């Protein structure tokens, strides 16, 4: 995930990476057909550069783009910060190949690592770097993943039920749909897809797969549409978008990986370093908000008369709440509509370090 066209946890679902926002994948695909081509436009690009460039001004400063995608944000930062180095990380080998080609003119300042973004410490070790000066996470489905319709992320195209961001892993959406017990399937759709009719959809899937395995995105999308009440189908976008989101998050363990990523990235962030996270649905944004808030407050006991040095905030919030794209950007790039940006700066190392 990370970059330019990306991302959308709800996208695959119909929406972002972003969903609770309206960055519907199908809207983006329609826009691309109309020549707008939003799929390759980095979301909130100027603001990302504004937030991270100050931490990358020193010679040899290191940016970790944990969700490299097509490298759009990284390219802008490489241009803006001519002495910085990039450690580009992505779990998708196709994304790494494409971004390496795009950033070929910066080959002396780039290092690419095939890894999940929770493995940022390993990526830094492989690059021979002890600390990062900036970290960027642009969550959700990337442009390369959406571009290859046979990967099964969008219900607008008939494709195998795959949805793997890393095609070297075994678990696919088809396996989830056809093998998970109905109770577990309901949990996935309710917790990750925020689908109100999760149990109805899960039971409909159970009935269909008892006759024959469900193997295509079109078959699943039609099944979900039929399982959801007609009145509900008339509003809120495609009826299958939340089911697709839930499945995608389950297949790629997106939320658990994000929960592991934030402390891992912060553990290797230099004092004065900055981290920015672009989320596209409420589940991701909530995890990010809590992780940042926990380290951005003074934890001195209330009954003590003076603040304790080792209880002072480790992070300084750079954004007030979650920043949103401008209306102008939303009009220019429909994919940005669900984006939520949070950024922090490390101001202190924890005393135990």
Q: Which residue ranges are tagged as binding site?
A: 71-73, 90, 117, 138, 145
- Is 100 inside a domain boundary? yes
Q: Say whether both 299 and 276 belong to one domain.
A: yes
Q: Does one domain contain both 278 and 234? A: no
pLDDT of residue 29: 36
Could you tell me the pLDDT band of residue 34, with boundaries at 50, 70 and 90? very low
**Residue 5 falls within a domain, yes or no?**
no
Residue 332 covered by a domain: yes
Within a domain: 150: no
CATH, residue 50: 3.40.50.150
CB 96, CB 169: distance < 8 Å = no
Q: Are residues 71 and 172 in the same domain?
A: no
Q: How confident is the model at residue 15 (pLDDT cuts 50, 70, 90)?
A: very low
**pLDDT of res. 300:** 78
- 268 and 132 in one domain? yes
Q: Using the predicted structure, report yes or no on whether residue 279 has a pLDDT greater than 80.
A: yes
pLDDT band at residue 19 using 50, 70 and 90 as cut-offs: very low
pLDDT band at 352 (very low <50, low <70, confident <90, very high): low
In a domain, residue 11? The reply is no
Residue 28's pLDDT is: 38
Work out the average pLDDT over 286-313.
88
How many CB atoms within 10 Å of residue 205? 24
Compute the average pLDDT of residues 283-298: 95
What ranges make up the beta strands (E) of 21-114? 62-65, 85-90, 110-114
* 134 and 108 part of one domain: yes
Q: Give the C-alpha separation, 93 to 197, whole Å.
A: 35
Q: Which residue has the higher pLDDT, 155 or 164?
A: 164
pLDDT at 8: 40
Q: Among the listed ranges 27-36, 225-234, 269-278, which one has the minimum average pLDDT value? A: 27-36
User: 64 pLDDT exceeds 80?
Assistant: yes
Whether 80 is covered by a domain: the verdict is: yes
Q: Of 252, 287, 315, which one is at a domain's C-terminal end? A: 252
Mean pLDDT in residue range 118-122:
97
Percentage of the chain with pLDDT > 70? 86
Question: What's the confidence (pLDDT) of residue 236?
Answer: 67
Same domain, 210 and 261: no
Q: What is the domain extent for residue 286?
A: 25-144+255-346
Percent of the chain residues past pLDDT 90, beyond the cut? 69
Residues 6+ apart with CB under 8 A from 9: 15, 16, 17, 18, 19, 139, 140, 141, 245, 248, 249, 254, 279, 280, 281, 283, 284
Which residues neighbour 313 within 8 Å (Cβ) at sequence distance 6 or greater? 295, 296, 297, 298, 347, 348
Q: Identify whether 6 is part of a domain.
A: no
Q: Do 130 and 163 lie in a common domain?
A: no
Residues 198-222, mean pLDDT to the nearest whole number: 96
Mean pLDDT of the chain: 86
The answer, yes or no, to whether residue 304 has pLDDT greater than 80, is yes
For residues 252 and 272, give the distance between their C-alpha atoms in angstroms, rounded to a whole number. Answer: 32
Q: Select from 252, 268, 297 the last residue of a domain.
A: 252
- Token pair in block for residue 187: 């949990």
Q: What is the pTM of this model?
A: 0.84
**260 shares a domain with 140:** yes
340 within a domain of the structure (yes/no): yes
Clarify whether residues 138 and 46 are in a common domain. Answer: yes
Residue 147: pLDDT band (50, 70, 90) is: low
**Angle separating helix axes 254-267 and 241-252, nearest 10 degrees:** 50
The last residue of a domain, from among 206, 231, 252: 252
| Binding site members for S-adenosyl-L-methionine | 71-73, 90, 117, 138, 145
Confidence of residue 301 (pLDDT cuts 50, 70, 90): confident
Q: Taking each helix axis as running N to C, give the angle between helix 45-52 and helix 72-80, from 0 to 180 degrees, rounded to the nearest 10.
A: 50
Among the listed ranges 71-80, 165-174, 182-191, which one has the minimum average pLDDT value? 165-174
In 3D space, the residue among 295, 276, 293, 289 whose CA is nearest the CA of residue 350 turns out to be 295
Q: Which residue has the higher pLDDT, 31 or 170?
A: 170
The total number of structural domains in the chain stands at 2
Q: Are 234 and 134 part of one and the same domain?
A: no
Q: How far is 139 from 1, CA to CA, in rounded Å?
A: 5
DSSP code string of 159-205: -BS---SSTTSS--HHHHHHHS-HHHHHHHHHHTT--TTHHHHHHHH
Tokens of 64: 């970790």
Token reading at 328: 């102008």
CATH number of the domain residue 214 falls in: 1.10.150.170
Residue 139 and residue 271 share a domain: yes
Residue 321: which residues within 8 A CB-CB, separation 6 or more? 342
Confidence of residue 94 (pLDDT cuts 50, 70, 90): confident
- Looking at the fold, whether 53 and 183 belong to one and the same domain comes out as no
Question: According to the model, what pLDDT value does residue 311 have?
Answer: 82
């Amino acid at each position: 995930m990370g970059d330019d066209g990306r991302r959308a946890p709800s996208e695959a679902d119909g929406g972002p990476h972003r969903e609770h926002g309206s960055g519907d994948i199908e809207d983006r695909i329609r826009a691309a057909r109309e020549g707008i081509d939003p799929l390759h436009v980095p979301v909130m690009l100027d603001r990302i550069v504004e937030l991270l460039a100050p931490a990358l001004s020193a010679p040899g400063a290191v940016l970790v783009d944990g969700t490299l995608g097509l490298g759009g944000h990284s390219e802008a930062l490489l241009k803006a910060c001519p002495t910085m180095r990039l450690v580009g990380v992505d779990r998708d080998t196709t994304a790494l190949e494409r971004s390496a080609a795009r950033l070929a003119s910066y080959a002396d300042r780039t290092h690419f690592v095939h890894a999940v973004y929770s493995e940022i410490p390993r990526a830094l070790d492989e690059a021979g770097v002890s600390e990062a000066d900036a970290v960027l996470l642009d969550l959700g489905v990337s442009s390369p993943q959406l571009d290859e319709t046979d990967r099964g992320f969008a219900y607008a195209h008939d494709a195998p039920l795959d949805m793997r961001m890393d095609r070297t892993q075994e678990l696919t959406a088809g396996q989830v749909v056809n093998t998970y017990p109905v109770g577990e399937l309901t949990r996935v759709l309710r917790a990750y897809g925020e689908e109100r009719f999760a149990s109805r959809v899960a039971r409909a899937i159970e009935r269909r797969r008892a006759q024959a395995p469900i193997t295509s995105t079109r078959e699943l999308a039609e099944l979900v549409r039929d399982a959801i009440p007609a009145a509900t189908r008339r509003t809120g976008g495609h009826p299958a978008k939340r089911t697709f989101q839930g499945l995608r998050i389950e297949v790629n363990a997106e939320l658990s990986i994000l929960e592991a990523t934030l402390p891992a990235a912060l553990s290797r962030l230099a004092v004065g370093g900055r981290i920015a996270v672009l989320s596209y649905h409420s589940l991701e944004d909530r995890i990010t908000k809590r992780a940042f808030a926990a380290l951005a407050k003074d934890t001195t006991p209330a009954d003590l008369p003076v603040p304790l040095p080792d209880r002072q905030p480790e992070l300084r919030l750079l954004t007030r709440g979650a920043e949103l794209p401008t209306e102008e950007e939303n009009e220019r790039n429909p994919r940005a509509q669900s984006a939520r940006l949070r950024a922090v700066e490390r101001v202190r190392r924890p005393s135990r370090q």
